[in-house]
Chain A
Amino acid sequence: MKKLQLIIITILALYTQPSVAKLNIFTCEPEWAALANEIGGNKVKAFSATHGKQDPHYIQARPSLIAKIRKADLLICTGAELEIGWLPLLLRKSANKDIQPGEKGYFITTSFVKLLDKGGIADRSRGDVHTSGNPHIHADPRRLAQVAEKLSVVMQQLDPNNADYYQQNSQLFLDKWHEAIIVWQTQAEVLKGRKIIAHHKSWIYLANWLNLEIIAYLEPKPGVAPTTSHLSSLLKTSESQQVDMIIYAAYQNPKSAKWLEKRSKIAAIELPFTIGGNKQTDDLFSFFDDTIKRLVGAVK
């Protein structure tokens, strides 16, 4: 009997752990955790389910993620089917009412910006298609600013005690951010109209922002691993027109990009796909600093 009492007391003690005063944020990707930190400062605790060298498409609903999502007050994910293979399952396993779809704590960033590549045919013979639009919006700082504005409002609503703090912080961040955008645009002037081959459709927003032209992809179809025959056809393409560089994300296998680089003599550039993609990239500012530095370096 004593034993049973002890067990019950232990379980109750675990159960009624004092909740930490900080706003607990679960994000699917590191860029959203970084943004939440910019706005939330020391009032929030942001966790990212994936890291800079991980492909956010293929994640499993691991025990560690269930433990984190169960305690979240706010969930920030990209949406547009990027996390379709794991987020719905994780949400069901979370048994956390506050972050279910439709609740205030369910924040999907792609629903606040205009998506490119929307529509199209939902046919899997075309590869991993996202008919609701290309989800990789964080590579455009202008879209990121739009998300920041909305996120600040949601954070103020969820944690009214710190509403002023979030309001001021997001204003400070946005001022700095818009200044930085001008600097980046000036630096990236030389990139205008450059032709690029990319590994996956991860960069269309960056290209849209900086007026780059992505003429082909290493993947024959979205989400399908590059094949030798497809790479050979790209080699021909690169002979018939001026291609300035090949880009691939830090989490992608560089083999195909290197293969093409060796034969075409076009520089293959590894880009951080998000925060933590390389050593130089530890927040949103350094993410764009480094990305533009690498792109500009390739054309000089």
Chain B
Amino acid sequence: MYIKTTILLLLLVSSASFANNELQAIRDEIANMKKHHETKIANLEMRLQTAELAIKQQKEQNSQVNSKEFATSEPAINSNPNAFNPAISLIFDGRYVDYTNKQDNLSFPGFVLGAETGPETEGFNLGETELTLSANIDDKFYAQATIAFANDAGETEVEVEELYVQTLALNNGLTLKGGRYFSALGYLNEQHAHAWDFADAPLVYQAMLGGQLKNDGLQLSVVLPTDFYLQAGLELGNAQNFPSSGIHNGFGSQTAFLSTGGDIGYNHSWQLGLSYWRASVKQRAGLDENPAFSYTGNSNIKALDFVYKWAPNGNNKQQNIKFQFEYFDRNEDGVLGDIETSEVNYDGSQTGWYGEIAWLFKPTWRTAIRYDRIDANNKSFNQQRLEAAGLLSDTEQTRASIMFEWLPSEFSRLRVQYNDEIDAFNAAQWFFQYTYSMGSHGGHQF
């Protein structure tokens, strides 16, 4: 009995003391944890403070750097009086030309060429030297002048190739341009000849436009506020230059153009254009300047152009391919001859197109091929006059060309080009062309 009670008592006491121990242990642990966390928090707070201080210091350092090392240069008080000189660039475009047969004249059956369209002078030829000046006139206008020095048979002719002023501040996508400029008809027409992929113009440009169509007049264009590119424009001209001719009251020629384009991913981009040109023509000189062959009447050209470019990741400096196509359709309705030589009706219908592919296969090497075709189907009640004027044709003219060029930098180019024979011009052609540009950096046109 005693033993039992003692055991029970002992058990009770021991369990009570156990409970006491346990409580103490928990209390100790809590105290420990508290202490530990306090130091931890204190540590964190300290780190935060240091970090904040560091940021503050960094900021101070940055702003100090701002005022010292980083300060942008002070504007010069005495500015150079020449600082406002326009951007100047000079482009040499010399060549050596060789024919497989000696040719004095260039003529395409069914087309009457402009006075300046002839075969390239054989041998060494300085070609055309272009001097371009350009600058913003003020905050409203930009102007550009391109003076060309053409070397022809030992004589130097100076010509105002372009001289125009255009607005910068009309806003709403509107631009007004006035003076002499390359018309927006077609694609290649607006580019200067030295920027072309071949040493000579496509046949259709030579036959229909006398190389390039210049407009003396006004151009209004608008880039529409669409998500994709859409541009429309109108031109009014004096219609004095080939392929129109004569002095006109008011606007002798009108042009309308529309173009659109865009990108497909990073690698592809394209542009499509439609344009229409019409003019009244007075006494356009005919074959041998014979007044019986001169043309008076209306002339219009409908043109379609398409350009597609490929460059991996849009890095066209590394590698690129360009496909270019233009189609022209010209209709003329008027008379041949004048009152003295008797007038006969003339209904001109001519078409022409070319396609080319250019490939920059290495950053400094490029090649291109081109195929040309022109066609004429002109009519008159007086067949004899038509034939005598060189306007009768029953065969199309075609030509194929190939070129290679080396581009040591953006500013120089050496090119060799071979043109296959054309039926009407019984000779193949070789061109060796060098093009150098000095002075201000030109723009990269699409």
The answer to whether the Cβ of A71 comes within 8 Å of any Cβ in the partner chain is yes
- Chain B 56-95 interface mask (CB, 8 Å, partner A; 1/0): 0011001001100111110000000000000000000000
CA distance A59 to B410 in the complex (A): 13
CB contacts (< 8 Å) of A67 on chain B: these are: 223, 226-230, 262
The answer to whether the Cβ of B196 comes within 8 Å of any Cβ in the partner chain is no
Question: Given contacts A66-B223, A114-B69, are A178 and B55 in contact (CB under 8 A)?
Answer: yes
CA distance A212 to B264 in the complex (A): 40
Q: Is the beta-carbon distance between A59 and B444 smaller than 8 angstroms? A: yes
| Nearest A residue (CB) for B231 | A66
CA distance A62 to B136 in the complex (A): 22
Q: Is the beta-carbon distance between B443 and A61 smaller than 8 angstroms? A: yes
Q: Is the beta-carbon distance between B55 and A182 smaller than 8 angstroms? A: yes
Q: Is the beta-carbon distance between A58 and B444 smaller than 8 angstroms? A: yes
| Nearest A residue (CB) for B65 | A142
Q: Is the beta-carbon distance between B58 and A143 smaller than 8 angstroms? A: no
Question: Given contacts A113-B72, A124-B411, are A62 and B173 in contact (CB under 8 A)?
Answer: no
CB contacts (< 8 Å) of A142 on chain B: these are: 62, 65, 70
CA distance A61 to B269 in the complex (A): 11
CA distance A84 to B440 in the complex (A): 10
Q: A95-B223, A142-B70 are in contact. List 17 more A-B contacts (CB 8 A).
A: A17-B226, A51-B313, A53-B313, A55-B318, A58-B444, A61-B443, A63-B446, A70-B173, A88-B443, A92-B168, A92-B175, A96-B173, A97-B171, A113-B70, A118-B73, A179-B51, A182-B55
Task: Please name 13 pairs of A and B residues whose Cβ atoms are closer than 8 Å in the assembled complex, sorted by A.
Answer: A51-B313, A51-B314, A53-B266, A61-B445, A61-B446, A63-B229, A67-B229, A93-B223, A95-B222, A112-B72, A113-B70, A114-B72, A225-B364
The answer to whether the Cβ of B244 comes within 8 Å of any Cβ in the partner chain is no
Question: Given contacts A50-B314, A63-B269, A85-B444, are A15 and B262 in contact (CB under 8 A)?
Answer: no
Q: Is the beta-carbon distance between B169 and A100 smaller than 8 angstroms? A: yes
The answer to whether the Cβ of A22 comes within 8 Å of any Cβ in the partner chain is no
**A120-147 interface with B by 8 A CB criterion:** 124, 128, 142-143, 145-146
CB contacts (< 8 Å) of B221 on chain A: these are: 95
**Shortest distance between the CB of B293 and any CB in chain A (Å):** 40
Q: Is the beta-carbon distance between B62 and A225 smaller than 8 angstroms? A: no
The answer to whether the Cβ of A54 comes within 8 Å of any Cβ in the partner chain is yes
CB contacts (< 8 Å) of B341 on chain A: these are: none
CB contacts (< 8 Å) of B100 on chain A: these are: none
CA distance A221 to B69 in the complex (A): 27
CB contacts (< 8 Å) of B420 on chain A: these are: none
CA distance A98 to B168 in the complex (A): 10
| Residue among A61, A70, A81, A181 with the highest chain B CB neighbour number at 10 A | A70
CA distance A92 to B364 in the complex (A): 29
- Chain A 222-242 interface mask (CB, 8 Å, partner B; 1/0): 011100000000000000000
Question: Given contacts A60-B316, A113-B70, are A84 and B441 in contact (CB under 8 A)?
Answer: yes
Q: Is the beta-carbon distance between A100 and B58 smaller than 8 angstroms? A: no
Residues of A within 8 A of B (CB): 11, 14-15, 17, 50-51, 53-55, 57-64, 66-67, 70-71, 81, 84-86, 88-89, 92-98, 100-102, 111-115, 118, 124, 128, 142-143, 145-146, 175, 178-179, 181-182, 223-225, 251, 253
| Nearest A residue (CB) for B412 | A124
**Shortest distance between the CB of A109 and any CB in chain B (Å):** 11
CA distance A240 to B445 in the complex (A): 46
What 7 pairs between A and B have smallest CB-CB spacing?
A: A63-B261, A89-B443, A63-B229, A67-B229, A58-B317, A97-B171, A114-B70
CA distance A98 to B171 in the complex (A): 8
- Chain B 301-336 interface mask (CB, 8 Å, partner A; 1/0): 000000001000111111000000000000000000
| Residue among A86, A97, A145 with the highest chain B CB neighbour number at 10 A | A97
CB contacts (< 8 Å) of A89 on chain B: these are: 443-445
| Nearest B residue (CB) for A145 | B62
Q: Is the beta-carbon distance between A15 and B409 smaller than 8 angstroms? A: no
| Nearest B residue (CB) for A57 | B317
CB contacts (< 8 Å) of A94 on chain B: these are: 173, 223
Residues of B within 8 A of A (CB): 51, 54-55, 58-59, 62, 65-66, 69-73, 136, 139, 142, 166-175, 221-231, 259-263, 266, 269-271, 309, 313-318, 363-364, 409-411, 441-446
CB contacts (< 8 Å) of A118 on chain B: these are: 73
Question: Given contacts A60-B445, A67-B229, A92-B142, are A181 and B411 in contact (CB under 8 A)?
Answer: no
Q: Is the beta-carbon distance between B317 and A55 smaller than 8 angstroms? A: yes
Give the residue of B166, B168, B225 whose beta carbon is less than 8 angstroms from that of A97: B168
Give the residue of A54, A64, A92, A143 whose beta carbon is less than 8 angstroms from that of B166: A92
CB contacts (< 8 Å) of A14 on chain B: these are: 224-226, 230
Question: Given contacts A60-B446, A61-B443, A178-B58, are A95 and B175 in contact (CB under 8 A)?
Answer: yes
CB contacts (< 8 Å) of B73 on chain A: these are: 114, 118
**Shortest distance between the CB of A92 and any CB in chain B (Å):** 6
| Nearest B residue (CB) for A181 | B58
Question: Given contacts A92-B168, A114-B71, are A85 and B317 in contact (CB under 8 A)?
Answer: no
| Residue among A88, A95, A178, A223 with the highest chain B CB neighbour number at 10 A | A95
| Residue among B54, B65, B228, B317 with the highest chain A CB neighbour number at 10 A | B317
Q: Is the beta-carbon distance between B315 and A55 smaller than 8 angstroms? A: yes
CA distance A203 to B318 in the complex (A): 21
CA distance A95 to B316 in the complex (A): 26
CB contacts (< 8 Å) of A113 on chain B: these are: 70, 72
Q: Is the beta-carbon distance between B171 and A102 smaller than 8 angstroms? A: no
| Residue among B51, B66, B444 with the highest chain A CB neighbour number at 10 A | B444
CA distance A214 to B259 in the complex (A): 48
CA distance A88 to B87 in the complex (A): 12
CA distance A142 to B95 in the complex (A): 52
Q: Is the beta-carbon distance between A96 and B313 smaller than 8 angstroms? A: no
Q: Is the beta-carbon distance between A85 and B170 smaller than 8 angstroms? A: no
Q: Is the beta-carbon distance between A143 and B224 smaller than 8 angstroms? A: no
CA distance A99 to B74 in the complex (A): 24
